Amino acid sequence: VQDGAHVEKDTAFAELEVMKMYLSLTTPEAGRLQLVTSEGSVVSVGDVLARLELKDPSKVRRTKKFEDRLPEMSMPEELGSKPHQRFRAAVRELRLLLAGYDADSNA
């Protein structure tokens, strides 16, 4: 997509590589897209990549204040020494790794 181009809703305008995975960024609504970051740039969390001037300004989504209660935190699980407990902990750790989370170096 060229800078300043008019785009339709759900148009892919960028592709990010994160931890050897590719993520496509799409426009949430139709409008004029202004690219802020150039192709091939290294970006960090919170960086602005593009701005979208909406074709229909009434489509702006307003954020809502969170007014619910967060669930109570539970105590951390202690790793047992029995084989089935260690196996379950290893499976849980593997699932987190496959989901893209960092491994716990103390496990």
DSSP secondary structure letter of residue 53 = E
Residue-level pLDDT at 105: 54
β-pair type (31-35, 6-7): antiparallel
> In this structure, is residue 93 part of a structural domain?
yes
DSSP-assigned letter for residue 49: -
Can you give the pLDDT at residue 29?
A: 94
| 3-state SS assignment for residue 13 | strand
Domain assignment present for 4:
yes
Residue 62 lies in a domain: no
- Looking at the structure of the chain, the number of domains it has is 1
CATH of the domain at 43: 2.40.50.100
pTM surpassing 0.85?
no
Distance, in Å, from the CA atom of 8 to the CA atom of 63, rounded to the nearest integer, reads: 23
Residues of the chain below pLDDT 70: 103-107
- Residue numbers of the domain that contains 43: 1-56+79-101
Task: Give a yes or no: residue 64 inside a domain.
Answer: no
> DSSP class of residue 58?
G
Please give the pLDDT value at position 8: 95
- The tens digit of pLDDT for each residue in 43-72 reads 999 999 999 999 998 988 888 999 999 888
Asked whether residue 61 is domain-assigned, the answer is: no
pLDDT for 49? 93
